[in-house]
Amino acid sequence: MYVDVHSHLTHDDFAADLPDVIARAEKSGLTAIVVNGLEPASNQRILELAAQYPVIKPALGIYPIDAVNDIVDNLPFPIRKFHVPDAIAGIRREVAAGRAFAIGECGLDGYWVGEETFAAQEKVFEELIGIALEFDKPLIIHTRKREERAMQILAAHGVKRVDFHCYGGKSKLALRAAEQHGWYFSIPANARNNESFRKLLKELPQDLVLTETDCPYLAPVRGERNEPANVVGTVKLMAELRNWSEDQAREQIWTNYKRLFQVGSDPDGEAKA
Ligand SMILES: [Zn+2]
Distance CA 51, CA 155 (A): 34
pLDDT beyond 70 at 240: yes
205-215 pLDDT tens trace: 999 999 999 99
CATH fold of 2-261, please? TIM Barrel (3.20.20)
| Average of per-residue pLDDT across 159-185 | 98
39-73 pLDDT tens trace: 999 999 999 999 999 999 999 999 999 999 999 98
Centroid of ligand 1 to alpha carbon of 228 (angstroms):
13
pLDDT beyond 80 at 150: yes
pLDDT the model gives residue 266: 52
As residues whose CB is below 5 A from the ion ligand 1, the structure lists 214
What average pLDDT is seen over the chain?
96
pLDDT the model gives residue 273: 39
Q: Are strands 56-60 and 184-187 parallel, antiparallel or unpaired?
A: unpaired
Centroid of ligand 1 to alpha carbon of 36 (angstroms):
7
Centroid of ligand 1 to alpha carbon of 190 (angstroms):
14
CB 46 within 8 A of CB 58: yes
pLDDT the model gives residue 265: 58
Taking alpha carbons only, the member of 4, 269, 259, 7 closest to residue 138 is 259
Label residue 74 by pLDDT band (50, 70, 90): confident
102-144 pLDDT tens trace: 999 999 999 999 999 999 999 999 999 999 999 999 999 999 9
pLDDT the model gives residue 271: 45
Distance CA 83, CA 40 (A): 9
All residues at 6 or more sequence positions from 167 whose CB lies less than 8 Å from its CB, including other chains: 143, 147, 174, 185, 200
pLDDT beyond 90 at 251: yes
Per-residue DSSP letter, 172: H
Label residue 226 by pLDDT band (50, 70, 90): very high
Q: 227 — alpha (psi -120 to 50), left (phi > 0) or beta? A: beta
118-135 and 84-96 helices, crossing angle to 10°:
10
Centroid of ligand 1 to alpha carbon of 34 (angstroms):
11
pLDDT the model gives residue 73: 84
Quickly count: other Cβ atoms within 10 Å of residue 194's Cβ. Answer: 16
246-261 and 231-242 helices, crossing angle to 10°:
120
CB 6 within 8 A of CB 36: yes
pLDDT the model gives residue 264: 82
